[in-house]
Amino acid sequence: MATPFLQAISVSKTYPGALVSGIQKTDITINKGGITAIIGESGSGKSTLLKLLFGLLSPDTGEVQFKGERIRGPAEKLIPGHEAMKMVTQQTDDLNLYAKVWDNIASMLPHNDLKAKQEKTEKMLRQLKMTPLADKRVVDLSGGEKQRVAIARALIVNPEILLLDEPFNQVDTSFREGLQHDIRQIVKETGLTVIIVSHDPAEVLSMADELLVLKNGEILESGDPKTMYRKPKHLYTAKLLTNCTVLTCAEAKICGLKTKTDHIVIYPEWVETVKTWTRNDWEIKQVLFKGCYEDLIVERKGITIRVLNDQFGKYVEGNKVNLKLNRWLEY
Ligand code: ADP
Ligand code: MG
């Protein structure tokens, strides 16, 4: 069997004092050349796991191996973190605020080959669509632009693995999608491996080749985004990936769904509003404008269901409709 690219073997890390914290014994294998997204609610251990993979934290048990070699922890190294990896977080404090974007990026490269330095910096700026920013001072950039500089600084030294810890949180949607696309493109062109931590479903679903779901420091499930979105193994995962309705068994019965499980989950796109001659006994309580669609919050007998609607203006609050449930999941 070939040596795994990056592997965590029975790795755990608890922080002193806290009851449930850090990472329970975890095994992970990450292959070369793709995007793995780690998702989980706040405090589930995402950042801890990323730091363990990078070598910024030493595990209490087990070890992390990169190409078959144990990654050394911060106590064993002068500069913590593995040389073949780069990590970008929301903090951009290592940027030189009063230097130009160009210098912030170029300064990551050795000074002995000025021509190579020039060419590589130009290429990096092009790849991340930053050429127009080259002569601006970092202090004059927006938050999103600073993030781009941080990512350029990480990528220009050709790391084998790029670790991203929620780096796009502060960044507006249109910018975010551009950056996500550019990173995907770089992964495709160079075989870079990316591990990204995020709690934004849209981001992980569109970017990742593989999803890892973390709950209370443990991996709950993993798989490709499409399969996982369509049929998550756990209620927790469904709630992370979509703005779904969760009904108890009793509530499901009131809606006419027979189920023996504790919960049923209905995604907004699995419900249709229909007008029938007989029972229109669901009331539209809210119409939430979402840009290219609307979310309808529909209620009957104290039960509310979220429904995706792309027929703008068809409903106003107070309208009565009937609902057709096309699909649901049982947990
Ligand atoms: P996430 O990134 O998913 O929000 P973290 O990995 O940062 O989660 O944290 C996981 C858990 O460990 C949380 O309960 C957090 O409070 C705890 N934790 C993280 N860092 C420390 C620390 N340095 N000392 C004590 N507890 C910590
Ligand atoms: Mg975190």
Please, is 257 exposed, middle or buried when counting C-beta atoms within 10 Å of its C-beta (0-12, 13-18, 19+)?
middle
The reply to whether ligand 1 has any atom less than 6 angstroms from the CB of 43 is yes
Cα dihedral 150, 153, 158, 161 in deg (nearest 10)? -20
Ligand 1 pocket, residue 44 CB under 6 Å: yes
Q: Looking at per-residue confidence, does 320 or 2 come out higher?
A: 320
- Reading the block at residue 258, the tokens are 């027979």
Confidence of residue 256 (pLDDT cuts 50, 70, 90): confident
Cα angle 142-44-164, degrees, rounded to a multiple of 5: 35
Answer whether 50 contacts ligand 1 (Cβ < 6 A): no
Q: Which of the four pLDDT bands, split at 50, 70 and 90, describes residue 323?
A: very high
pLDDT of residue 18: 66
Q: What is the pLDDT of residue 34?
A: 95
Is the pLDDT assigned to residue 144 strictly greater than 90? Answer: no
For the chain, the first-to-last Cα distance in angstroms comes to 37
Nearest to 323 by CA among 262, 260, 254, 220: 254
Ligand nearest to the CA of 166: 2
Pocket test for ligand 1, best of 13, 41, 44, 218 (most atoms within 8 A of CB): 44
What is the model's pLDDT at position 121? 97
pLDDT in tens, 189-241: 999 999 999 878 888 898 999 999 999 999 999 999 999 999 999 999 999 99
pLDDT of res. 163: 97
Pocket test for ligand 1, best of 12, 19, 48 (most atoms within 8 A of CB): 48
Say which DSSP state 316 is in.
-
Residue closest to 161 by CA, chosen among 50, 62, 80: 50
- pTM (2 decimals)? 0.92
DSSP 3-state assignment of 26? strand
For the four alpha carbons of 93, 45, 161 and 190, in that order, the dihedral sign comes to negative
Average pLDDT over residues 169-173: 74
Among protein residues, the one whose CA lies closest to atom 27 of ligand 1? 15
